[in-house]
Chains A and B, each alone.
Chain A
Amino acid sequence: MVDKANVLETSRLWREVVQEIAPQYPSVMVDYLFVDNAAMQLILNPRQFDVMLTENMFGDILSDEASVIAGSLGLLPSASVGDQVALFEPIHGSFPQAKGKGIANPIATILSAAMMLEHFGLQAEADCVKDAVDNALERGVLTPELTSGVPYTTEQVGSFIAYGVLDLQDCQLHRSNIELGLSTII
């Protein structure tokens, strides 16, 4: 729980609610951190965090800070949930300079789709997408910002992952086709 309870009344409300509920879930270990310290801890020792719970503005700032850990904004998905329809989106912006050049990394969007599958209760399907993404990363099927070697285009990365979803074992086989621009998945 990240807040600024020594200064903000809203933060004290958060603590009040968290303290009220926490005892019902003994397996969840709750810790409280002031946001200034949390910003520092996130860089000093990010492994200490499993879940960070925070209010809108702190979350806005800390989640961008945390994105540095992943190495590229192009990898990070997000879900916005309410009581009914949920929305899934990559955390990156519209990057207008890159429009139409085929250099945008589609992985953040693809992982957002995996979060959607999870939201539907489709665990195996979500795992399947993540495995295919892992496979693409492992095999160096990457857009330009992540590789000094020969980069793949947005569409090639997406196609490779889609092939991986259909049959991970066959992925390597299909890679040569994708390189030749013979991808048939539409």
Chain B
Amino acid sequence: MGILRKRIVVLAGDGIGPEVCQEGVRVLKAIAERFGHEFIFDHQLMGACAIDATGDPLPEKTLAACWQADAVLLGAIGDPKYDNNPAAKVRPEQGLLKLRKSLGLYANIRPVTAYDRLIEHSPLKKDRIQGADMLIFRELTGAFISVKRVVRKMVVLSIIALIIGGKLLVLRTALFRPPKTVGRS
């Protein structure tokens, strides 16, 4: 792979979001330095911080930036002052839901690994979880009840294509520790 130039929108969000995003960006910068890539970081507002600044959990400017980007790194959104006020009409989470919809994100992928070094931190018995290593693919459009069957079928097909159309292998090698390292510690 040659040298890449990528534009990454960073939505640090609320609470600990900015702190953890700072470290994510730090590591991406280290990768860029070591491998000679160019990553351009574009920090934008979403969530409670965006409501405070603009009144909108997903300002137009943020959405436009996301459309221009190659990828989006999100910290976390949400603030107790909205959680504790069920009457609030404008809420941080609306920003994320709108963003998912606008970007047409139809699948969520979560790798789950039992790390040997941390196995004692799980409340589950060690002998059951040791070596556990999986990918959870979750459909994300959430509109399955109302949309037409043909559309639903297309979404299902897209997700399955994503899994078995080669991505699966790539993701597995990328996200999981290779088998040789399991049981290392």
Listed in ascending order, the chain A residues whose CB lies under 8 Å from chain B are 10, 13-14, 17-18, 21, 25, 28, 43-47, 49-60, 62-63, 66-72, 75-96, 98-100, 102, 104-106, 108-130, 132, 134, 137-138, 146, 154-155, 157-159, 161-163, 165-166, 185-186
Contacts A68-B123, A104-B19 given; indicate if A56 touches B76 (C-beta within 8 A): no
Q: Is the CB of A18 within 8 A of B175?
A: no
A78 contacts which of B21, B24, B110 (Cβ < 8 Å)?
A: B110
Contacts A69-B112, A80-B108 given; indicate if A88 touches B23 (C-beta within 8 A): no
Q: Taking each of B120, B152, B174, which has the highest tally of chain A beta carbons within 10 Å of its own beta carbon?
A: B174
Q: Is the CB of B162 within 8 A of A81?
A: yes
A158 contacts which of B27, B77, B110 (Cβ < 8 Å)?
A: B27
Residues of A within 8 A of B106 (CB): 81-82
Residues of B within 8 A of A87 (CB): 71-72, 74, 99-100, 103, 105
Contacts A87-B99, A129-B27 given; indicate if A55 touches B138 (C-beta within 8 A): yes
Q: Is the CB of A134 within 8 A of B109?
A: no
Smallest CB–CB gap between B139 and chain A, Å?
5
Listed A/B pairs (23) with beta-carbon separation below 8 Å: A14-B156, A18-B156, A44-B128, A47-B128, A55-B138, A62-B136, A70-B112, A70-B115, A76-B110, A81-B109, A89-B76, A90-B20, A91-B110, A93-B15, A96-B15, A110-B23, A115-B174, A116-B28, A118-B171, A121-B1, A134-B181, A138-B117, A158-B23
A70 contacts which of B22, B28, B104, B114 (Cβ < 8 Å)?
A: B114
CA distance A52 to B139 in the complex (A): 11
Q: How many residues of B contact A (CB 8 A)?
A: 103
> Is B98 part of the contact surface with A, judged by Cβ < 8 Å?
no
> Is B53 part of the contact surface with A, judged by Cβ < 8 Å?
no
Contacts A13-B156, A68-B123 given; indicate if A85 touches B34 (C-beta within 8 A): no
Q: Is the CB of B108 within 8 A of A94?
A: no
Smallest CB–CB gap between A107 and chain B, Å?
8
Chain B residues 123 to 148 lying within 8 A of chain A, measured CB to CB, are 123-124, 128-142, 144-145
Nearest residue, chain B, Cβ from A18 = B160
A84 contacts which of B30, B104, B138 (Cβ < 8 Å)?
A: B104
Residues of A within 8 A of B130 (CB): 47
CA distance A123 to B152 in the complex (A): 32
Listed in ascending order, the chain B residues whose CB lies under 8 Å from chain A are 1, 4, 6, 8, 13-17, 19-31, 33-35, 37, 47, 66-67, 69-80, 99-100, 103-115, 117-124, 128-142, 144-145, 149, 152-153, 156-160, 162-164, 168, 170-175, 177, 181, 184-185
Q: Is the CB of B113 within 8 A of A56?
A: no
Q: Is the CB of A81 within 8 A of B107?
A: yes
CA distance A125 to B162 in the complex (A): 22
Q: Is the CB of A78 within 8 A of B108?
A: yes
Smallest CB–CB gap between B72 and chain A, Å?
4
CA distance A128 to B36 in the complex (A): 14
Nearest residue, chain B, Cβ from A117 = B31
A13 contacts which of B16, B137, B152 (Cβ < 8 Å)?
A: B152
Q: Is the CB of A123 within 8 A of B173?
A: yes
Residues of A within 8 A of B145 (CB): 10
